[in-house]
Structure 1
Amino acid sequence: MSDSAPSLSALASPLDPIGFETQLGPLPSSGKWPPELRGTLVRNGPNPYIEVPGSHWFLGDGMLHAFSIDNGVVHYRNRWIRTQRLVAQQATGQPRATSLSVSAGDDGTANTNVIGHAGHMLALEEAHLPIDIDVDSLDTIGPIDFNSGLNGAFTAHPKTDPHTGELIFFGFGTPEQLSAGMSYGVISAQGKVTRFERFEAPYASMVHDFMVTKDYVMFPVMPLTASQERAKNGLPPYAWEPEFGTRVGIMPRTGSTRDIEWWEGPPSYVFHPMNAWQDPNHPNLLHADVMEFDVPPLFPLPDGSPSPDANPVAHLVRWTFNTADTRRRFTRIRIDPVPGEFPRIDERFSGLPYRHGWYASHVVTSDGRLQSYNGLRHVDHATEERSDFTFNPDDRVSEPVFVPRAADAREGDGWLLAVVWRATENRSDLVVFNALDLAHGPVCSAALPHRVPAGFHGNWFPAIERKNVAQTGG
């Protein structure tokens, strides 16, 4: 099955979109599939329905890619998310938005993440409401505001409290775009919005993600600044201004946004934290492990000139906050030398002290080249041991997703799933690793005849839970 669509380029690049929808399976596979691995890996990413030369990658229309696994048999399905924007493009043959500063007055692209909560599969980006998706067909149901409880921007990275099942969220640039306005809220495990508050950040910036611990919420505001004035004058709406420094707002979860205290740190940028937690041995200490860039990629200086760092990379860095420090300055220490991005954990330990983390790593080749997203890395925070797997030269791996072997398995005991673009064949594989033994290589894999374009985030939807509530990621 496929829908007609404008012709899209088929260049051998992981960023290039595909111009079709299809349903395939059983896929050719190899290795021994774990019998307990039953469910669906769903990934989300930009896949423009109509390509616009020079358009920012972040603006592509959302496309979902689902790999369903049952008793070692793998089926695949992909679908564009039928946002108002995409439907309008189908009707007119014209692109709807070509700039990060342009508001098309619709429900967005829904191209960044896909999670499950309160019986819904939700496609997310950070400027609009979630889009409700049918978990089996991937058909679009439409925007969802949980009985009018949501209003405005909703993060692509809400956090699920592993004990209460609550979904904790925020928004930035709201209610006015490119402003310092932010929001914070909570959705119960049953789907009721129990909190929604607004507050002002120290300055307007792109706040892609945040951190939640058992008792605190942490809002990182970093100097990838937002400016309505720049946008009005044809300059970058988002730009790197390190002189603003980094600010992190810390709020007790039992308090309100009026209780936020703002901490200071040197300029850097973080798209994604790995985890945050309260130190069990030192009650005054909060920690956050983050993938920190010295300079953010993909964004210019305020005058539109390129960033001075032509190839910025992120490293795993630990931020520590001492709540007894009246100066409110946090410390930073790099805890891993290997650069990468898209960190994940065993989500049962989200916001809690944890041991295991994984991320897509950059690999230095024998001739000194940096191969982006060419490997996977496991970090054991307890032993400080590291393990790696490197793919074939020029292959590119997605964000990994951890799936526990069983609901009561010990932390890290399970499988790591990822999608790999095979550069020489211009197609993709689903690969499955023993999460604690990456060096052994994939225990099994399934082959697609086409590529899954480079995307952002995905999550695992267990078969026994798909009609109720799916596993939510960061």
Structure 2
Amino acid sequence: MYDSDNPFLNGNYAPWREEGEAYDLEIEGELPRELNGALYRIGPNPHFMPAGRYHWFDGDGMVHAFILRDGRAAYRNRYVRTDGLKAEMKAGRALFGGLIEQPREMSPDVPPFKNAANTNIIGFNNRLLALWEAGLPHELKPETLETIGLYDFGGKISGPVTAHPKFDPANGDLLFFGYQPFPPYVTWYRAGRDGKLLETRAIESKIPVMMHDFITTDNYAIFFVCPSVFHIENAGQGKPLLIWEPQHGTRIGAMNRHTGDVKWFEDEAFFVFHFLNAYEENGSLVVDGCRMKALDMTGTSFGGNPPMPWRWNLNLKDGSIRQNQIDEVSGEFPRLDERLAGRKHRYGYFAGGNADERTNEPGFQALLKRDYQTGKLEQHTLGANFAPGEPVFVPRDAKSAEDDGWVLAVWYDSALNRSEMIVLDAQNFTGKPVARVKLQHRVPWGFHGNWVPAVEVRG
């Protein structure tokens, strides 16, 4: 029996502990033959009743794979077998606390903390990596989802790395960072497409903060130091590890990727979980992301603080900032055509509120498509009982235009208590779905996912 008062243990947040696979799934419509690969999704899914107060970010990572080939669809899901989860499976109960409460028991046979491996999943170097921002990635077998173990870039990295790496579209390099409550607080990394670590640089951020995401351009890496500050001394006192301290303001560091020099910009306090993209234009850096007024990590909710679409223009010459809110419709989990990562984009896709109702209620009612050239906002809804997760754009082929492809997302049907993977034509965003791949069970609300072509799925 799960905590009936905790929203992160109820509804479609509630755990789904069954692992399995299904073939020849029911499809309404027709899957495009060009979609040949797998959509991998990952999210928190506690295997045991949590010990103490549970936050959504604490759950064990479970991977959900929608495998599409020749117009047919299959599904597979599996927990990431982290050392922490294996220790709990051996004990038959939860052994770890989380963001809100610290571990209740420790022993030599149990890791000091659990690498939850629950935040993002990417294909890299013909490997499948499950990411968590406070530890190393876990490598999985792309077809079976079996856990191989920690991936440490050939033994070159021992500390935590980001859950939001970027791919350099010019050469396929993996661009990423790690943050921690001890100096150096932020470290930049670059690895070649063959997995070899090519570069490591410490970034002087002055204070230890939670830095979930960052953004890159062809020549810069941009770090937003928002004042959700670590207080590691609270760990043994039952106090929160992260405290919102707006007196620090938000500092934005633009690191020159060639020289390592960092130019800092000062702003008022705000928080950003996720960025859409950034690019260079006329001596400035243009950054699009989802801005929140603050971040409270002390309870089991986000406190009615909706993320809104903002654009920052960082002038590299005089250090000034111009910024504005794009529109009044809240949204999160921003995605774009990844071929334009770090370069000027026109379109962005979000999970968000219903633009007709201008609602700020928690949860998502629609998928959104923003045209940053015309200001047009389109939304796709499926009815009052349907709610979407993060959208993922897949181009029709390697040479197709930015908007020529499909938007894939997993939707939850609260009336039937089951989920579907739905394919939209990006150029007919508000039209009828191209295909709806139907499961007989639900997929709990998760975080992020990515499309991996078939050649890498079989790697």
Return the TM-score normalized by structure 1: 0.89
Please give the secondary structure, in 2, of the residue aligned with 1:363: coil
Q: CA deviation at 1:27?
A: 1.1
Partner of 1:271: 273
| CA positional deviation for 1:391 | 2.7
**Conserved? CA contact 1:180–1:202, under 8 Å:** no
Match of 1:21 in 2: 19
| Separation of aligned partners in 2, 1:63 and 1:368 | 30
* Counterpart in the other structure of 1:90: 89
Distance 2:251 2:392 in 1: 30
Helix, strand or coil at the partner of 2:397: coil
1:99 maps to what in 2? 98
Distance of aligned partners of 1:188 and 1:143 in 2 relative to their CA distance in 1, 3 Å threshold: same
User: Which position in structure 2 is the counterpart of 1:214?
Assistant: 218
Q: What's 2:71 paired with?
A: 72
Relative to 1, partners in 2 of residues 1:242 and 1:11: Cα closer, same or farther, differing over 3 Å?
closer
After TM superposition, list the pairs within 5 Å mapping 1:379-394 onto structure 2: 379-394=370-385
Question: Where does residue 299 of structure 1 map in the other structure?
Answer: 297
Q: 8 Å contact 2:304–2:361 — kept in the other structure?
A: no
Q: Corresponding residue for 1:471?
A: none
| RMSD over equivalenced CA pairs, Å | 2.3
Say which is worse superposed, 92-101 or 284-293, in terms of deviation: 92-101
Return closer, same or farther for 1:210/1:15 CA change in 2, 3 Å cut-off: same
- Structural mapping, 1:73-472, within 5 Å: 73-100=72-99, 102=102, 104-105=111-112, 108-173=115-180, 176=182, 181-256=185-260, 259-279=261-281, 282=282, 284-296=283-295, 299-300=297-298, 310-325=303-318, 328-363=319-354, 370=361, 372-467=363-458
Query: Unaligned stretches of 5+ in structure 2?
Result: 104-110
Question: Could you tell me which residue of structure 2 aligns to residue 3 of structure 1?
Answer: none
Q: Rate the CA distance shift 1:18–1:44 in 2: closer, same or farther, 3 A.
A: same
Q: Equivalents in 2 of 1:212, 1:97: separation in Å?
A: 35
Do the aligned residues in 2 keep the contact of 1:364 with 1:370 (CA within 8 Å)? no
Q: Is this contact kept in 1: 2:328–2:358, CA < 8 A?
A: no
Deviation of 1:11 after TM superposition, in Å, equals 8.0
Residue 143 (structure 1) shift:
0.1
Shift of 1:68: 0.5
Which amino acid in 2 is paired with 1:131? H
Distance, in Å, in 1 between the alignment partners of 2:358 and 2:376 is 26
How big is each residue's C-alpha offset from its partner over 1:225-256, in whole Å with a ceiling of 9 and x where there is no partner? 11113334322111222121101111100022
Change (3 A) 1:11 1:221: closer
| Alignment correspondent of 1:33 | 31
* Change over 3 Å in CA distance of 1:377–1:91 after alignment to 2: same
Contact kept in structure 2, 1:265 and 1:331, CA below 8 Å = no
Q: Which residue of 34, 49, 52 maps to 1:51?
A: 49
Change (3 A) 1:189 1:368: closer
Give the Cα–Cα distance (whole angstroms) in 1 for the partners of residues 31 and 334 of structure 2. Answer: 24
Distance in 2 between residues matched to 1:446 and 1:241, nearest whole Å: 45
- Is the partner of 1:74 in helix, strand or coil? strand
State TM-score, norm by structure 2: 0.92
Unaligned runs of 5+ in 1: 1-5, 469-474
Give the superposition deviation at 1:204. Answer: 1.4
- Which letter maps to 1:435? A
Identity over aligned residues, as a percent? 37
